[in-house]
Every structure is written in structure tokens, then in C-alpha cells.
Structure 1
Amino acid sequence: MDNNILQRIGELGIVPVVKLDRAEDAVPLGRALLEGDLPIAEVTFRTDAAEESIKALSKELPELLVGAGTVLTKEQVRRAVDAGAKFIVTPGFNPSVVDYCVENHIPITPGINSPSQIEMALERGLKVVKFFPAEQSGGLAMLKAMSAPYGSVKFIPTGGVDTKNMLTYLAFNKILAVGGSWMVKPEMVAAGQFDEIARITREAVYAMHGFELAHLGVNCSDGQEAADGAERIASLFGMAVKDGNSSVFAGKAFEFMKSPYLGEKGHVAISCNDVARALAFLKSKGIGSLPETEKKKDGKTAAIYLDLHVGGFIFHLLQK
């Protein structure tokens, strides 16, 4: 099993479930997903065009992570993998299909909606499964109750997941990613609305990250300058002053450092829903991080500085 594929799916956070009736639509759709900052597609094997679509995407757009969904038989697994699929997704738990993938080291996320099926996955060494159909099976409440005894298992909820509930699912620490088709609706593909697909996809990606300005940090020469700066801003704008070990805050938006830290003038803190996922996203845009500045909480990255400098300020990420 290639854990790198599953790790990449977790970094991307959203898996577009794509139904293609015409193979000639595959590459334009793939380009729309790339333009929308979501380089992944799960092409369902429900149409005659699926195999050719996977082949075209894999050949023309190697930067796109392509998988096959709605796979029902071992023969379909073979055809999908031969066409270039890097992972397999099944709607239910078919032991013969799952065993074939495990034996041949093909990443697979089988569909489950019961504890018994989770245990069937665990018995085969699988640590990631698809919760399907998610909303119709009881949604997040059902998933939380069902997954409680299985600490090591991660889930990809699919079925009824959209922009309205995506963030609620992703906030649960046992969710690897969510699957959905709302940004790649078949009627939009058929109509050639690829610019609209790119727009909706990008919108979903940025909604998932939830980037927001958290605070502005200003480098001061010493503690007195920091205290004076915080007091002045606080008095002007009706904010509370909070004195800390290394800085003084005026409200939550302004931080005055008691001694110069990173950045020529200071730093800009950007909060997000998942720092690790945000780091992977920014890395794809050429932005690195400074590992020595990483701070962790409950085993997860809670804050880290980026190798991003604008106007004398360095940027860093904060977990919401």
C-alpha cells in the first residue's frame, strides 16, 4: 500500500468525484481542477468513458493525482490501474476487490458504513476507508459514534457532502479528506463550463483552508517600547492590553514584540483551519516554511513561520 498517495489525499483535503460521459471532456476538466488549485480527480467507473478518461488525464496531466471510483470488480481494478489510476475507491466493502488491491499494493479506500466493515478493513491492514453514503448513513454524528473504538482509522466521507457541511466534517480529527461532486457536476461538464468549474473548485479550496488575518506583529527595540505601543493603540481604539512573556497585545489584532524577532519590521499572522494542510498547499505555490519555528499542540502543528517576506514583514500560520 502506497501511503504517500493517502498522505497526499489528506493534504489536498477534497476529492472531486467526477462522472464523465465523454472522454474528450477529461483533459479540459482536469485543467479546470488544476486551475482551481485542486490537483486530484476520482473518475467513477459508472460510464463507458471512464477508462479512456483516466488514460487521457494520466498522460496529458501528470501533475494531477488520478484515481478510479465506483470500482466493483477486480477486472475494473486492472483496467483502471492499466489506464493510469493511482488509487481505487469502492462504494462498498467487496472482500475480493479489496484483497486483490492489498495483495497488489494498490491504494484502496473501500466504502463502509458499519463497525463490522471497519473491522474487515483493519483485518487487512487498511487505515483509511470511505464513509458512504455519508449523510444518508447518519452523517457526522453517526461517524463519530461509530469510529470511537477505532483510534487509528481515518475516513473520507462521501455522499451528501458539499460546501454547507464540508468544514464540519473536516474539523473532526478522524477525517482524512472529504469526497464530493458539487464542483464537478455532470451537467456543467456536459455544457463545457470549465471556467465555472475552476471557480467553484477554487472557492471550495479556500473555504477549506479558511485563511484569515489573525494579528499584526510589530518588532520593538525593548519591552518599554512594546508596552508604549500597545497602550497607545489600545487607548485610541478601545482595546484591552495583555502583557505576555515576549510581547504585549493590544486587543487580539496587534502584537508588539519586546525585542526584535523574525522579519525586518515584524510579522503577519494568518490563521487557518489546518496548518499542516495549509503548508502543503502553500508549498505547491513555492512557499516554504521555517521548521525551527514550529510549535505543536496535541501532536499537531499549531504555528509555524513561512519563508514569505512582504514589505519588511514575515508571515506565519496559526491554527484556528
Structure 2
Amino acid sequence: MMTLSSVVRGPALLPIIQADTPTQAVQIATALQQGGIGSVEVVLRTQQALGAITAIRSALPELLVGAGTILSAADAKAATAAGAQFLVSPASTPHLLEAMLATGVPIAPGVATPSEIAMACEFGLTEVKFFPAHLSGGIAMLKALSGVFQQVRFCPTGGINQQNLADFIALPNVFVAGGSWLTPDKLVHTQDWAQISALAEQATVLANQYKAA
């Protein structure tokens, strides 16, 4: 089973892209790539999300493009058909895990409790998304989990920003940090791609201080 950490490109960052059109998605992804980002997660929260995945894969072949907000078997199939190179979900159920695993691409199912982590481990998974990270205990929770689930590594997402990024990414059991702080709605709506690139560059420098690119 290929893991997400083995395919992530660039710094240990996984910015979220939520776009209304494929063109907008490519613009956001381009800005992130110019800031040093090598991997992105397109969330299935808009009608054009699947088209956005396909468009980014075509326009920016060097960028690793995955799909987020996978909530069903149908989502998993549609996302991989659109070209998603990995799948991320905000939650975990046995059926959802089976469907995501069936796609054959790397996955990071969402967990917030020890029981959910244990379930993922029963499916042979040792890399999961910790969501919502800040509201689920944040740094303290990840430290507590490290002693019990020593083989599990996390992608914390939710409440991460430029101010606390270093604290999260410095944890030994964190392999990548995700979130939307690099693509704030305001900058997307004003098409301030230069500022998104600048945020990405700052985060890339910070991430590389704690995790090898």
C-alpha cells in the first residue's frame, strides 16, 4: 500500500484549494506552486471541484493533486476518475475506508479520536488526517496520541495558520500539515495571486526548517 507521505512533493504542506471554476483552481494552484508548494488538496465542496482536479493535473503536471472532503464511495470513484492522485476524508467509517482503499491511490482518512485511529489501524493504515486539529486538542492531543499510537503519523488540518504552523510541523508524528490559511477567500476573490505565492513561500521556508523537503 503506497502511503501519502511517500508521494508528497515539495515541503511538508498540503494547502487546500476550493475553487468555483477550473480556471480559478489553476490560478490558485499556480500561485501556490510559484511559492514553493509541491502538493495540493482540492476539496469536493463546489460543483466544479472534479473539473478543477482535471484542469490542474493538465496545466501543472509537476504538482501532486489530490481530492479532499471524500465522504462516500461515489466521491472516491469520481475523484480518482478525475485524476486525483490521493484522497483525503474528514471522517472515517468502515465502508468509506474500504471504498477509499479500493481506489489504489494513497489515502488519509479523517480521525479525531483514539477509537477512529484504532479503526484505521485495523485496516492497515498508519497515516491519517487529524481533523479538526485545533478543536480536537491540537498540539497537546497529538503529543498524547504519539505515546499510544507510536506507528501512526498525522496530517493535522483545521485551525492551522502561519503562527502555529511550526508547533504542529515540528511534532515527530506529523508528516504534513494541511489547511486553507495559504488560500484565504479574500485573496482568492480579489485574485491576489502574488500574496498567495508570498504566503506559500513563507510557509515553505518554515516547513523546511522542521521537515526535509
Using the size of structure 2 for normalisation, the TM-score is: 0.95
Partner secondary structure for residue 183 of structure 2: coil
Deviation, 1:22, is 2.1
Percent identity over paired residues: 36
Whether the 8 Å CA contact 1:39–1:63 is kept in 2: the answer is: yes
What is the match of residue 155 of structure 2?
156
Deviation string, structure 1 residues 63-116 (Cα, Å, up to 9, x no partner) = 010001111111111111111100111111132121112233221101101111
What is the match of residue 192 of structure 1?
191
Q: Which amino acid is the alignment partner of residue 181 of structure 1?
A: S
Q: Which amino acid is the alignment partner of residue 104 of structure 1?
A: T
What is the match of residue 62 of structure 2?
63
Mark the structure with the bigger radius of gyration: 1
Q: Which amino acid is the alignment partner of residue 40 of structure 2?
A: A
Question: Within the alignment, does 1:129 sit opposite 2:116 as a pair?
Answer: no
What is the match of residue 2 of structure 2?
2
What is the match of residue 73 of structure 1?
72
Deviation, 1:10, is 7.8
More strand, by proportion: 1
Deviation, 1:208, is 2.0
Deviation string, structure 1 residues 243-270 (Cα, Å, up to 9, x no partner) = xxxxxxxxxxxxxxxxxxxxxxxxxxxx
What is the match of residue 230 of structure 1?
none
**Structure 1 segments of 4 or more deviating over 6 A?**
none
Whether the 8 Å CA contact 2:72–2:99 is kept in 1: the answer is: no
Structure 2 residue ranges without an equivalent (≥5) = none
Whether the 8 Å CA contact 1:66–1:85 is kept in 2: the answer is: yes
Whether the 8 Å CA contact 1:10–1:177 is kept in 2: the answer is: no
Whether the 8 Å CA contact 2:182–2:200 is kept in 1: the answer is: yes
Deviation string, structure 1 residues 164-185 (Cα, Å, up to 9, x no partner) = 1111111111111111111111
What is the match of residue 304 of structure 1?
none
Aligned length: 213
Q: Which amino acid is the alignment partner of residue 2 of structure 2?
A: D
Q: Which amino acid is the alignment partner of residue 2 of structure 1?
A: M
Deviation string, structure 1 residues 198-240 (Cα, Å, up to 9, x no partner) = 1110111112223xxxxxxxxxxxxxxxxxxxxxxxxxxxxxx
For residues 145 and 172 of structure 2, the distance between their equivalents in structure 1, rounded to whole angstroms, comes to 14
What is the match of residue 229 of structure 1?
none
Distance 1:160 1:200, change over 3 A: same
Whether the 8 Å CA contact 1:20–1:186 is kept in 2: the answer is: no
Using the size of structure 1 for normalisation, the TM-score is: 0.64
Distance 1:168 1:10, change over 3 A: farther
Q: Which amino acid is the alignment partner of residue 55 of structure 1?
A: T
For residues 207 and 50 of structure 1, the distance between their equivalents in structure 2, rounded to whole angstroms, comes to 29
More helix, by proportion: 2
Distance 1:10 1:147, change over 3 A: farther
1:299-314 to 2 correspondence within 5 Å?
none
For residues 95 and 186 of structure 1, the distance between their equivalents in structure 2, rounded to whole angstroms, comes to 34
